[in-house]
Chains A and B, each alone.
Chain A
Amino acid sequence: MDLLSTLRIAFRALARNKMRSTLTMLGIIIGVGAVIAMVGIGQGADQTVQRQIANLGSNMLFVSSGSMNLGGLRLGWGATKTLVGEDVAAMLRECPAVAAAAPGTQTSAQVVYENDNWGTRITGSTPEYFDIRTWDFQSGTGFISDDVTNAANVAVIGDTVRKNLFPSIEAVGKTIRIGNLPFKVIGVLVAKGQSPAMSEDQDDTIIVPLTTLQKKITGQPWLRFVMVSAKSRSGSYAAQQQIESLLRDRHRIRADQSDDFTVRNLADMADLASEASKVMTGLLASIAGVSLLVGGIGIMNIMLVSVTERTREIGIRMAIGATEGDVQQQFLIEAVVMSLIGGVVGIAVGVSASLSIAATAGWPILVSGTAIAGATAIAMAIGIFFGYYPAQKAASLDPIEALRYE
């Protein structure tokens, strides 16, 4: 029998038991919907984390003074005084994978503007800092190398500082005091939000020229960190190795001693986070997959009932010339039609579920074509897999017995 006629017969048979067909399809609808929603949520979460990491800076590596692990003792930043400006110059000179580097140090201080004051981090760095962190200005500009050379009293403020000190007026051009020193605000940075890697408010900071901080505030000539950007994302691993061996060399660390610095690679963190979210997505999808399996069993169940109910019809069809293949095809198509309709509706349900979850959670909306194509293929495969046995059962009926069936 041709496919079109078989399809018509299948639709008619399903329409004859609307309630039953709908309930059976519901199993597939829920299963496919759940898989699509779960994969969507997983991918959305992954992309959010990736975006946050990328937000830290482009192909960034973070070199900090002090080892994060000294014989089991974790030490914080600035525990050593060995990271210095010449190290940065050497990195730019000798590490081919390094594109740019911004030395920096940090302290905390109370900042005052007129009657308001706010305690925040003061970061000292060079103009490259803004490029490496791909940090734009909402108003004003950053400082230039001359400001670093001259140890100028200029400051760039983060959005959180602006909110606290200049809630309603323009900050650029105003003078703030850090400790007892007056600084002119020359730029306000755009908000970056919470840092996923260091869980701190990235906008709660003031950035001043490195030399100003070193000479006028902390009095410490060494560096606490160097922000490095690699030439490419894949080059960041090479950059990490080059920096590590360069610094060990320059700091005269013997082979049996551990580093007095730490290099953290954002690509590394991104991969780790992505690995974690892939595991989560897989877990969610397999739980959803179980409901798809249950849906498939529902189809098999209903098809078996249908074969029994229609034994006589099968007998008639065989008597007038339907081959076993014809009968098998008829029931298989019926199961596939049911699972495919369920699949299509399930895709719609899954897509709208992931859209509404994405809207609630503020995640990027992610409904991948692969997930939809995959779900359709799975629905079809379920129809064939779970429809095969009932169809086989129908086809193997003895026409004489089937005709006699009451």
Chain B
Amino acid sequence: MSIQSTNSLSGSDLTSPEDKHEETVIQVRDIHKIYQMGETPVHALRGVSLEINRGEFVAIMGASGSGKSTFMNILGCLDKPSSGQYFLEGIDVSGLNKKQLAGIRNRKIGFVFQGFNLLARTTALENTELPTLYARIDKTERHQRAVDALKMVGLGDRIDHFPSQLSGGQQQRVAIARALVNRPSILLADEPTGNLDSRTSVELMEIFQALNEKGLTIILVTHEHDIAQFTKRNIVFRDGKVRRDDAIVNRVRAAEALKTMPAIED
């Protein structure tokens, strides 16, 4: 199985990088998160402030317990900060109710999880269509968008396959198609390569890089330095705070890296 080249991504209506540079997509101001574990309060985030611009490709790293997962949940509008503000495309998300947050998750955020999280016994196409169902998009458009999204990740010929009939890499690509189908502002990927072998991981990073080149903002949580090297910016969390925030200097091109890797038989 070979990965589709980047030109299969052309024709997508992701915004082009030129006119969107320097536009702030995410602005986080002094976010704290305190969980109450029985009697003891656990301080998961202790004042995080950062900005992410459109078109960035960010890797968030940190040991377990560093607060990176909590931060991702807040960025993904699955959780609310205890204090501080979070602006997503200028909207103060911290002030929204549950229903509004569901709407934001549906239209502005695309999720990719470590465990793929596809619905079993549901075809790739139907899995991809799911967010459009909740967006109340009409049937023909739903179908078209899902097919387009699957083609974008190189699975145009497997739309009727069930997750159990797909390899791990293919399942994760279905999950990416699902994340993209509502044309979100940001793509959040939580350890997307955690369940994949190294070659498939790099193949996946190739897709992410291609999407990013088309203007998609991607935020990726990982604990693998190799994976972080494919991104453009590296934010490291420790003890609930941002410890480092660097641009990646020698960014690795996934397409180049694949050439040096031995091919794995499927």
A313 and B119 contact, CB distance less than 8 A: yes
Chain A 235-246 per-residue mask, 1 if CB under 8 angstroms from chain B, else 0: 000000000000
A321 and B117 contact, CB distance less than 8 A: no
In the complex, which range does the number of interface residues on chain B fall in? Answer: 20 to 34
In the assembled complex, the Cα of A312 lies from the Cα of B115 at a distance in Å of 11
Q: Which of B73, B102, B178 is the one whose CB lies under 8 Å from A400?
A: B73
B105 and A320 contact, CB distance less than 8 A: yes
Q: Which of A312, A323, A400 is the one whose CB lies under 8 Å from B78?
A: A400
B134: which A residues are within 8 A, CB to CB? 1, 317, 320-323, 326
In the complex, whether A2 has a CB less than 8 A from a CB of chain B is: yes
Which residue of the partner chain B has the closest CB to A325? B99
In the complex, whether B239 has a CB less than 8 A from a CB of chain A is: no
Q: Considering the complex, which residues of chain A in the window 1-54 have a beta carbon less than 8 Å from any beta carbon of chain B?
A: 1-2, 5, 12, 16
In the complex, whether B237 has a CB less than 8 A from a CB of chain A is: no
Q: Considering the complex, which residues of chain B in the window 19-39 have a beta carbon less than 8 Å from any beta carbon of chain A?
A: none
In the complex, whether B136 has a CB less than 8 A from a CB of chain A is: yes
A320 and B106 contact, CB distance less than 8 A: yes
In the complex, whether B263 has a CB less than 8 A from a CB of chain A is: no
Min C-beta distance of B138 to chain A, whole Å = 9
In the assembled complex, the Cα of A318 lies from the Cα of B105 at a distance in Å of 8
In the assembled complex, the Cα of A146 lies from the Cα of B131 at a distance in Å of 95
A321 and B102 contact, CB distance less than 8 A: yes
In the complex, whether B81 has a CB less than 8 A from a CB of chain A is: no
Q: Which of A2, A313, A324 is the one whose CB lies under 8 Å from B102?
A: A324
In the complex, whether B121 has a CB less than 8 A from a CB of chain A is: yes
In the assembled complex, the Cα of A399 lies from the Cα of B101 at a distance in Å of 12
B136 and A399 contact, CB distance less than 8 A: no
B135: which A residues are within 8 A, CB to CB? 321
B105 and A321 contact, CB distance less than 8 A: yes
Which residue of the partner chain B has the closest CB to A315? B117
B106 and A399 contact, CB distance less than 8 A: no
B136 and A316 contact, CB distance less than 8 A: no
In the complex, whether A276 has a CB less than 8 A from a CB of chain B is: no
Min C-beta distance of A320 to chain B, whole Å = 5
B131: which A residues are within 8 A, CB to CB? 320-321
In the complex, whether B67 has a CB less than 8 A from a CB of chain A is: no
Interface of A (DSSP majority class): helix
In the assembled complex, the Cα of A352 lies from the Cα of B113 at a distance in Å of 53
In the complex, whether B43 has a CB less than 8 A from a CB of chain A is: no
Chain B 166-184 per-residue mask, 1 if CB under 8 angstroms from chain A, else 0: 0000000000001100100
B113: which A residues are within 8 A, CB to CB? 319, 403
Chain A 309-351 per-residue mask, 1 if CB under 8 angstroms from chain B, else 0: 0001101111111111110000000000000000000000000
B99 and A399 contact, CB distance less than 8 A: no
Min C-beta distance of A396 to chain B, whole Å = 10
Q: Considering the complex, which residues of chain B in the window 80-123 have a beta carbon less than 8 Å from any beta carbon of chain A?
A: 98-99, 102-103, 105-107, 111, 113, 117-119, 121
Question: Given A2-B136, A403-B117, are A320 and B111 also a contact pair (CB < 8 Å)?
Answer: yes
A321 and B182 contact, CB distance less than 8 A: yes
The 8 nearest A-B residue pairs measured at CB: A321-B106, A323-B102, A321-B134, A320-B131, A316-B117, A321-B105, A323-B99, A1-B133
Knowing that A320-B130, A326-B134 are A-B contacts, what are 9 other residue pairs whose CB atoms are under 8 Å apart, sorted by A's residue number? A1-B134, A12-B121, A316-B118, A316-B119, A317-B134, A320-B105, A320-B111, A320-B178, A400-B79
A to B CB contacts below 8 Å, 7 in the list: A1-B136, A5-B133, A316-B118, A319-B78, A321-B102, A321-B105, A323-B98
Binding site for A on B (CB under 8 A): 73, 76, 78-79, 98-99, 102-103, 105-107, 111, 113, 117-119, 121, 130-131, 133-136, 178-179, 182
